[in-house]
Amino acid sequence: MLNKTIDETKQGTCLTADTIVLQTGYPQKFYIESYGCSMNFNDSEIVASILNKANFGVTKELEEADLILLNTCSIREKAEQTIRKRLTEFRKLKMRKPSTLVGILGCMAERMKTTLLEEEKLVDIVVGPDAYRSLPMLVKQAGHGQKGINVLLSREETYSDIAPVRLDNTGVSAYISIMRGCNNMCSFCVVPFTRGRERCRHFQSIMHEAEQLFQQGYKEVTLLGQNVDSYHYTDEATQETINFAQLLVKVAMISPLLRVRFSTSHPKDITNEVIQAIQQYDNICSYIHLPLQSGSTRILEKMNRTYSWEWYKERVDTIKALIPDCGLSADIITGFCSETEEDHQATLVAMRYCAYDMSYMFAYSERPGTYAQKKFADDVPDTVKKRRLQEIIELQNQLSLESYSKDIGKTFSVLIDGESKRSVADWKGRNSQNKTIVFPKKNNYKPGDFVNVLIHDCTQGTLLGTVQD
């Protein structure tokens, strides 16, 4: 994986029909595209489960769908533009086949509420992230020509009892949402408005889902939340309370053959207990995605990140002291309100210090309704944002190449997750540090197998090696 820029990020990627597993035998068909973060992809799997019960099976063919859904992202303006373009394409399709219903789900549905349905008439159904249970009813209503909208946010909904239908059918790795929403209110971020207040899922239901996945043959689970380190749950009956580190250990103890990952950590909340859990359990992957956002304490304050660069640096020092081989990546925003050249330089210094293996890097995009939009001027000119973004990308490319080069000569345990995109003669997989490793197929190894791979070459985004028997 190459370092990601604004347009092709985890927030900009799209799970399309190509990657979706086909479901047959249902009287009606739905087609779904998912944009944005992993939470959104997992939400689409919850939506699939709800729709299956309402007799809709997933299709890869847009033309044969009775219901077309877009699960959307609002994090940057660019993401919303992409989705709008897609909606106008669907409108053309609907003109050819008027019985097709088009629905918008997720963050953009929540943010825009009635606009896309009533004013722009681009969709028939609008459903926010906490209202997916009402989707079958809204589809029925829309089928009768009524408005199908529910954008109510909830303080309780975690979809705990819904078993997600795995759409991206590798059968190797699965996401498990452990919480929803976010209480942090970073000043640039629209998520607290679109996904609501933080709520945690009962740990027993998380454990049940992880155990079932392992029994079905899955080899890796990723625990998902906007801020996993603030996970906590008290069982009312037993009064047992568990925090994120304890949850991580519980899931890891299901089996040493089940890899456990998590995303996303927050620098203010990641505890030594979490870092020690990674150190102590081989199957908790040595990889932390720790969004930095900026290396300037002044900007971090304006962003309401509630930590300073010194705090962040100490967290990284602790991680590296306890887990010297830990993979580390970050999110970085460039050109936030009032960012000076000096602030920008501080970000470059911080990146060098942390020596990230990979980063997701973005130019600041003002979002309606956020604190920053209301209180600060978006005053860094686009040309400056772009130039600074280019500089951080170039630095990250250099840091990635240095990090990957250091792995030459090492042997890693790799979980095979599929065929290399470049050659059918090669497998690809990831090591504990989350680096992608490509190697020639050998023996009867297949996706889901763990193999030891000796690294002999690299690019800035991939390690190349050979299997050691």
Q: Name the residues that contact ligand 5AD, by CB under 6 A.
A: 11, 75-76, 188-189, 291, 293, 331, 333, 362, 364-365, 367
Cα 63 from chain centroid (whole Å): 29
User: In terms of CB distance, is 266 or 435 closer to ligand SF4?
Assistant: 266
Q: At what angle do helices 341-354 and 382-405 cross, to 10 degrees?
A: 10
Contacts of 307 (CB under 8 A, 6+ apart): 267, 268, 300
Provide the minimum distance between the beta carbon of 194 and ligand 5AD in the complex, in angstroms, as a whole number. Answer: 11
Helices (H) and strands (E) in the chain, counts: 13, 22
Structure tokens given for 362: 């973005």
**Within 10 Å of residue 155's Cβ, how many Cβ atoms?**
10
Provide the minimum distance between the beta carbon of 186 and ligand SF4 in the complex, in angstroms, as a whole number. Answer: 3
Name the phi and psi angles at 312, rounded to 5: -60, -45
Which does residue 31 bind out of ligand 5AD, ligand SF4, none, counting CB within 5 to 8 angstroms by kind?
A: none
Provide the minimum distance between the beta carbon of 188 and ligand 5AD in the complex, in angstroms, as a whole number. Answer: 4
Which does residue 182 bind out of ligand 5AD, ligand SF4, none, counting CB within 5 to 8 angstroms by kind?
A: ligand SF4
Provide the minimum distance between the beta carbon of 198 and ligand 5AD in the complex, in angstroms, as a whole number. Answer: 16
Q: Which amino acid is at 152?
A: L
Which does residue 150 bind out of ligand 5AD, ligand SF4, none, counting CB within 5 to 8 angstroms by kind?
A: none
Cα distance between residue 456 and residue 465, in whole Å: 5
Provide the minimum distance between the beta carbon of 83 and ligand SF4 in the complex, in angstroms, as a whole number. Answer: 19
Q: Which amino acid is at 155?
A: R
H helix or E strand, kind and range, residue 150? strand 148-150
Q: Which residues, listed in sequence order, are joined to residue 288 by a DSSP beta bridge?
A: 328
The correct pick among 131, 176, 189, 242 for binding ligand SF4 (CB under 6 A) is 189
> Which residue, judged by CB position, is nearest to ligand 5AD in the bound state?
331
**Coil, helix or strand at residue 331:** strand
Provide the minimum distance between the beta carbon of 364 and ligand 5AD in the complex, in angstroms, as a whole number. Answer: 5
Which does residue 367 bind out of ligand 5AD, ligand SF4, none, counting CB within 5 to 8 angstroms by kind?
A: ligand 5AD
Q: Does residue 227 bind ligand SF4 (CB under 6 A)?
A: yes
Which does residue 75 bind out of ligand 5AD, ligand SF4, none, counting CB within 5 to 8 angstroms by kind?
A: ligand 5AD
Which does residue 47 bind out of ligand SF4, ligand 5AD, none, counting CB within 5 to 8 angstroms by kind?
A: none
CB distance 3 to 393 below 8 Å: yes
> Which residues in 247-306 contact ligand SF4 (CB under 6 A)?
266
Omega into 194 within 30° of 0, i.e. cis? no
Cα dihedral 171, 128, 76, 336, rounded to 10, equals -110
User: In terms of CB distance, is 39 or 69 closer to ligand 5AD?
Assistant: 39
H helix or E strand, kind and range, residue 359? strand 358-363
Binding mask 144-183 for ligand SF4 (x = CB under 6 A): --------------------------------------x-
Q: Where do runs of H (alpha helix) occur along 216-256?
A: 244-252
Output Rg (C-alpha) for the chain, integer angstroms. 22
**Within 10 Å of residue 346's Cβ, how many Cβ atoms?**
20
Contacts of 252 (CB under 8 A, 6+ apart): 258, 260, 277, 281, 283, 284
Which does residue 362 bind out of ligand 5AD, ligand SF4, none, counting CB within 5 to 8 angstroms by kind?
A: ligand 5AD
Which does residue 128 bind out of ligand 5AD, ligand SF4, none, counting CB within 5 to 8 angstroms by kind?
A: none
Q: Does residue 186 bind ligand SF4 (CB under 6 A)?
A: yes
The candidate with the shortest Cα–Cα distance to 467, out of 58, 458, 450, is: 450
Q: Does residue 192 bind ligand SF4 (CB under 6 A)?
A: yes
β-pairing verdict for 56-58 and 67-72: unpaired
The correct pick among 59, 226, 400, 462 for binding ligand SF4 (CB under 6 A) is 226
Which does residue 365 bind out of ligand SF4, ligand 5AD, none, counting CB within 5 to 8 angstroms by kind?
A: ligand 5AD
User: In terms of CB distance, is 42 or 59 closer to ligand 5AD?
Assistant: 42
Structure tokens given for 283: 């199957």
Provide the minimum distance between the beta carbon of 254 and ligand 5AD in the complex, in angstroms, as a whole number. Answer: 29
Provide the minimum distance between the beta carbon of 141 and ligand SF4 in the complex, in angstroms, as a whole number. Answer: 32
* Interface with ligand SF4 (CB under 6 A): 182, 184-186, 189, 191-192, 226-227, 266
